[in-house]
C-alpha cells in the first residue's frame, strides 16, 4: 500500500534534472544581465523582461465601441458577480454587530457631552457668568 503512495523514481530524477537545468539557465542569464543591480536583501525579486522596441506604432483595436446600454449591462453584471462573492453575516451576527456599534456610539456621545459640559463650565468660570 505504501508503494502506491510513493512517487516513481523516474519522476524524482526528472524533477532533479529540471531543477538542475533551471539553475544552469539562471547562471547563463546572470552573465547577460551584468549591468543590472543585484538584490542583496532577504526578499526574492524577479527582474522584469525588457520591452523590445517596435518600429510600428500600436494601432487601435478593430473592435467597435460598446454603447452606453452595453456598458450599463456589463456594470450591473459585474456588480451582481461581486455581490455573490460577499460573505453575508447571519441574522445573529448582524444583531450582535449592530448592538456593539450602538453601544460604542452611545459611549462616545456620553464622553463628548461630558467634555462639552465641562469646557462650558470652565469657560464660564474663567470669563465670568454674565447673568
DSSP assignments along 59-119, one per residue: PPPSSPPP-HHHHHHHHHHHHHHHHHHS-PPPHHHHHHHHHHHHHHHHHHHHHHHHHHHHH
d(CA 102, CA 9): 64
Which pLDDT score is estimated for 128? 82
pLDDT in tens, the chain (131 residues): 555 555 555 555 555 556 556 655 555 555 555 555 555 655 655 666 676 666 665 555 555 688 899 999 999 999 999 999 999 999 999 999 999 999 999 999 999 999 999 999 999 989 887 66
Which pLDDT score is estimated for 66? 81
| C-alpha 40, offset from chain centre | 26
Virtual torsion, Cα 21, 26, 32, 35, nearest 10 deg: -170
Which pLDDT score is estimated for 65? 81
d(CA 59, CA 51): 18
Q: For the whole model, what pTM was predicted? A: 0.40
Which pLDDT score is estimated for 70? 92
What's the per-residue H, E or C state across 77-88? HHHHHHHHHCCC
d(CA 123, CA 127): 6
Residue ranges of domains in the chain: 89-131
Amino acid at each position: 500500500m505504501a508503494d502506491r503512495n510513493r512517487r516513481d523514481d523516474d519522476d524524482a530524477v526528472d524533477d532533479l534534472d529540471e531543477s538542475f537545468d533551471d539553475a544552469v539557465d539562471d547562471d547563463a542569464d546572470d552573465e547577460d544581465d551584468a549591468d543590472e543591480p543585484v538584490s542583496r536583501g532577504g526578499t526574492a525579486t524577479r527582474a522584469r523582461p525588457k520591452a523590445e522596441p517596435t518600429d510600428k506604432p500600436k494601432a487601435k483595436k478593430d473592435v467597435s465601441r460598446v454603447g452606453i446600454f452595453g456598458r450599463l449591462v456589463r456594470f450591473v453584471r459585474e456588480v451582481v458577480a461581486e455581490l455573490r462573492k460577499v460573505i453575508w453575516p447571519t441574522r445573529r451576527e448582524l444583531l450582535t454587530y449592530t448592538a456593539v456599534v450602538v453601544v460604542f456610539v452611545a459611549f462616545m456621545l456620553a464622553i463628548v457631552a461630558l467634555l462639552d459640559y465641562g469646557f462650558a463650565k470652565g469657560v464660564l468660570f474663567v470669563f465670568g457668568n454674565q447673568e
